[in-house]
Amino acid sequence: MSQWLEQVIDAAQISDYLAPVRQQALEKLKADGWPARRNESWRFTPLTPVEKREAKQAVQTESLPIPAIDNLNAIDLVFVDGVLVTQINTLDVPAGMSITSLNNDDAATQQAISSVYGQVKPTRHMFGLVNDALCQHGIFINVEADAKIDTPVRIVNMTSQDVDAHTRVVVKLAEGARATVIEQGFGDTESLTTAFAEYDLADDAHLEHYRFAMFTGKAKQLGGSHFKLHNRTTLNSTMVGYGSELSRLDVDIHHAGEFADAKMNAIYLLAEGELFDLHSTIEHAMPNGTTEENARGIVGDKARAVFNGRIHIHRDAQKTLAELNNRNLLLSRRGVINTKPELEIYADDVKCAHGATVAEIEEEALYYLLTRGVSRSKALVMLNFGFIQELINDVPNTAVREWLAPILSERFAQMEVK
């Protein structure tokens, strides 16, 4: 057992309406213990930076400047060092949507939250269980049936000092509702963030989702976004991962209804000694669902990328269309990419494809561009950024797309090629 996990278990003493879920999570944490080194889920992502850590409390700090996404007019909800600093009651929320704290006294709201909290996210995620047990700061976003909310909700998680931050987002879209949610996390100082989000998306609902996991340096993040889709639900998700000492995202998409459509694009750009690990699991439990998942990344210097993409097609999920692809560019001999696409199919009338590639810089093409006076960094962007740019071009929100394109190409241009 790790010191950190022991302290986490000892500290968990929250008695509120979520106590039954919290208690179950604690029981499972105690029963499972700390993952062994050979544990498949953590095989390429050592947990040593957490194992011997002192568990810490979230602390109220001064609010920090929030990085802007130019031209994005969003409702911002901000957690700093694990504490929700936004005054929710001062927000201007469009009709059909409500935003409340997880700490609230309204019985109906509590019931709605309880129907999602710990119910969408599978219990196999250890840090998800920690979050279940410890999370005190969280928000609940509820969108009424057929409400079409154009204004995106942006949830920002920032860490500035030596803390453990456990934050939670619970989202419920009723039948035919539409909404856009952006989860953005960043920090580079010593800290640990578990930020989990659960989305329960009813029949005919549409969610446009973003997760920007931009923690770097010593900011450890262990988070996840988890989705439950019903009949004809559509999900369009874009994720961006930077790497840090330890950075892991778990994504689950559960097709619990027919004709649901999930599209997920993920980009990771890793430099120096950064690590980023993306584990995704798509469960096709019902027929006629579609999934398209594209994960693409560039790994430079001594960075490490881990990708594990699993698609599980249950016996009844006939006529499923599922595609999963992971493409990587390795810039350096010291960089490491561990990629594992997995298809598990129990239905006999489905169309599925999966693939993974790791490419290296094409020296001859690079030389050709250089002989025409193009700078090395620009030539590398021209030659190698195209497959990332394709996913950026795919971002549905214009402001987000125009914000991402330059920051990602800049990050790539600064990555060391050796």
Partner 1 sequence: MLSIKNLHASVEEKNIIKGLNLEVKPGEVHAIMGPNGAGKSTLGYVLSGREGYEVSDGEVSLNGKDLLELEVEERAREGLFLAFQYPVEIPGVSNMEFMKESVNAMREQRGEEPLTAAEFLKKAKEACKQVQLPLDFLKRGVNEGFSGGEKKRNEIMQMILLEPKLCILDESDSGLDVDALQVVADGVNSQRDGERSFIVVTHYQRLLDYIKPDFVHILADGKIVKSGDASLALEVEKSGYAFLGKAYEEAEA
Which C-beta is closer to partner 1: that of 19 or that of 370? 370
| Distance from C-alpha of 9 to C-alpha of 26, rounded to nearest angstrom | 7
| Distance from C-alpha of 353 to C-alpha of 343, rounded to nearest angstrom | 8
Which C-beta is closer to partner 1: that of 17 or that of 387? 387
Which C-beta is closer to partner 1: that of 142 or that of 409? 409
| Distance from C-alpha of 120 to C-alpha of 342, rounded to nearest angstrom | 22
| Distance from C-alpha of 126 to C-alpha of 11, rounded to nearest angstrom | 16
Please name the residues in contact with 111: beta carbons below 8 A apart, sequence gap of 6 or more.
Answer: none
The secondary structure of 113-146, three-state, reads HHCCCCCCCCCCCHHHHHHHHHCCEEEEEEECCC
Instruction: Summarize as ranges the residues that interact with partner 1 (CB under 8 A).
Output: 363-365, 367-376, 378-379, 382-383, 386-387
CA atoms within 13 A on the CB side of 375: 5
Q: How far is the CB of 370 from partner 1 (least distance, A)?
A: 4
Which C-beta is closer to partner 1: that of 101 or that of 325? 325
Q: How far is the CB of 354 from partner 1 (least distance, A)?
A: 23
**Distances 286 to 176, 185, 343, 349, 350 between C-alpha atoms, Å:** 19, 33, 16, 13, 12
Q: How far is the CB of 365 from partner 1 (least distance, A)?
A: 5
Q: How far is the CB of 385 from partner 1 (least distance, A)?
A: 10
Which C-beta is closer to partner 1: that of 205 or that of 330? 330
What's at 373, amino acid-wise? G
| Distance from C-alpha of 78 to C-alpha of 194, rounded to nearest angstrom | 15
Q: How far is the CB of 326 from partner 1 (least distance, A)?
A: 19
Let me know how long the chain is: 418
Which C-beta is closer to partner 1: that of 19 or that of 417? 417
Which C-beta is closer to partner 1: that of 64 or that of 369? 369
What's at 160, amino acid-wise? S
Q: Three-state DSSP class for 80?
A: strand
Q: How far is the CB of 116 from partner 1 (least distance, A)?
A: 43
Q: How far is the CB of 371 from partner 1 (least distance, A)?
A: 5
Q: Three-state DSSP class for 43?
A: coil
